[in-house]
A and B are shown apart, each in its own frame.
Chain A
């Protein structure tokens, strides 16, 4: 079990212990003493930490987050990380992302397509951590295209959704194919299923190869 990053703690909410970060509430999550519950069932990164994966996160990193959606997870990331760039492609969830970013001075929302890194490379600096949770076909390709942002000793934290690649195929076959493509640019350090928190998701920790 690896240590939690500085700024992420286990705290009690309604008598039950859960991951938590310190910051303004975003999606109606329970709060206590300025800490907000990080619901690992709603967050793949949260589930990775909960399962004790060695994410390499220690707190204060520079982060590029792809697939920020409504900002649920990235708001927690911004609570414990340094400068955090949040890329989301869809306008509707980006509205909520803006709300999450408003009180977080280190969170920079961008309405951009993660498949086209050149459209935000003029804004995003090189980062220590690339977190990716995009629900699109070609998830490994997105990770490869965004490798340019990652420092040589940086980490890719990837949640692969089997159903985004191919609803009909066996998830394990899909994961194998994604990992094969991913290895064109990354060394895969650890993989783990996110059950029981998220069905048919594979979490991957990798570093640029």
Chain B
């Protein structure tokens, strides 16, 4: 076995074993051309008293370094998810806009022209060489793309944020992450901010004293809000936002799935929905 070049030594060389950060850094970014009898060398150099102690330090160091590397890698996945959800929204928006154009154009030709993406899909089925049909095909393709992006988001969001996705559903989870600017950023936001994410316009109008405070932002689409009587929607949105904020923190800081969060949310919402409302 070749001995390593001294310039590319073992991970423990020039490292203070009490300094966890520098140990982690050395495991993660160090390199050597060839392996060497590191345990022996570490004992010889006085880094460890004996090989048992060396392996104990190595276990702790590799666990820590790998945990850190895993967390970093997964955190950058949230950026991919943000691109995915934004692209999905773009495709849906543009498909709808173009579908309106198609409907208007078609209306000038046929009495029975309909509206919407579905109508554009119908038109696209005729294989005519015609600019209107061609435009309708673009609508269909964009709508297909949006559907593909949606299933991509639905697949990846639970990997990036398992608890948030379980509570909010993958699409809403992705949207919250995108609005906050990342999972880390979302994890650092107070529940009150999570509650109104996506309602910034209304929030600033309120802060200028021109409007009531918004009760909810994008979380409005959640079943916990939708399924609650309008009088109690503020409470429901507040309770939901509180749990979502906790879920985002668990996802960012530990990444472990905690099913008890689902049960806690269900219980809170059930209690709120059971409240009497003045008819």
Residues of A within 8 A of B (CB): 83, 91-92, 94-95, 97-98, 101-102, 105-111, 118-119, 121-126, 148-149, 151-152
Q: Jot down 16 A-B pairs with beta carbons below 8 A, ordered by A.
A: A91-B74, A94-B66, A95-B70, A98-B67, A101-B62, A105-B59, A106-B59, A107-B59, A118-B31, A119-B31, A121-B31, A121-B35, A122-B9, A123-B10, A125-B35, A125-B37
Q: How distant is A144 from chain B, measured CB to nearest CB, in Å?
A: 14
Complex Cα spacing A126 to B31, Å: 15
**A-contact 0/1 string along B2-39, CB 8 Å cutoff:** 10100011110000000000000011001111111111
* Number of A-B residue pairs at CB separation under 8 A: 91
**A-contact 0/1 string along B61-97, CB 8 Å cutoff:** 0110111011001100100000000000000000000
Q: How distant is A66 from chain B, measured CB to nearest CB, in Å?
A: 14
**A-contact 0/1 string along B134-161, CB 8 Å cutoff:** 0000000000000000000000000100
B105 interface contact, C-beta 8 A: no
Contact, CB under 8 Å: A151 / B1 = yes
Contact, CB under 8 Å: A92 / B74 = yes
Told that A111-B66, A118-B8 touch, could you supply 10 new A-B pairs with CB distance under 8 A? Answer: A98-B66, A101-B62, A105-B55, A110-B27, A119-B31, A121-B4, A123-B62, A125-B39, A148-B34, A151-B1
Q: How distant is B124 from chain A, measured CB to nearest CB, in Å?
A: 33
8 pairs of A and B residues whose beta carbons are closest in the complex: A91-B73, A122-B32, A121-B32, A111-B69, A108-B62, A122-B30, A109-B66, A91-B70
Q: How distant is A154 from chain B, measured CB to nearest CB, in Å?
A: 10
B214 interface contact, C-beta 8 A: no
Contact, CB under 8 Å: A110 / B35 = no
Closest to B13 in A: A122
Complex Cα spacing A152 to B59, Å: 26
Contacts of A98 in B (CB 8 A): 63, 66-67, 70
Taking a contact as CB atoms closer than 8 A, the residue among A106, A110, A149, A151 that contacts B66 in the complex is: A110
Closest to B31 in A: A118
Contact, CB under 8 Å: A108 / B58 = yes
Contacts of B56 in A (CB 8 A): 105
Contact, CB under 8 Å: A109 / B31 = no
Closest to A107 in B: B59
Give the interface size class of chain B: 35 or more
B169 interface contact, C-beta 8 A: no
Taking a contact as CB atoms closer than 8 A, the residue among A94, A122, A123, A152 that contacts B70 in the complex is: A94
Contact, CB under 8 Å: B159 / A92 = yes
Contact, CB under 8 Å: B70 / A126 = no
Complex Cα spacing A121 to B31, Å: 6
Contacts of A121 in B (CB 8 A): 4, 8, 31-35
B255 interface contact, C-beta 8 A: yes
Q: A91-B70, A108-B59 are in contact. Are A125 and B31 (CB under 8 A)?
A: no
Q: How distant is B69 from chain A, measured CB to nearest CB, in Å?
A: 4
Contact, CB under 8 Å: B74 / A149 = no
Q: A91-B70, A148-B2 are in contact. Are A125 and B63 (CB under 8 A)?
A: no
Contact, CB under 8 Å: B33 / A118 = yes
Closest to A83 in B: B55
Complex Cα spacing A124 to B38, Å: 8
Complex Cα spacing A127 to B212, Å: 69
Contact, CB under 8 Å: A106 / B55 = yes
Q: A105-B56, A106-B55, A108-B62 are in contact. Are A123 and B30 (CB under 8 A)?
A: yes
Contacts of A91 in B (CB 8 A): 69-70, 73-74, 77
Q: How distant is A19 from chain B, measured CB to nearest CB, in Å?
A: 26
Contact, CB under 8 Å: A123 / B34 = no
Closest to A90 in B: B73
Contact, CB under 8 Å: A95 / B255 = yes
Contacts of B36 in A (CB 8 A): 125-126
Contacts of A122 in B (CB 8 A): 4, 8-11, 26, 30-32, 38
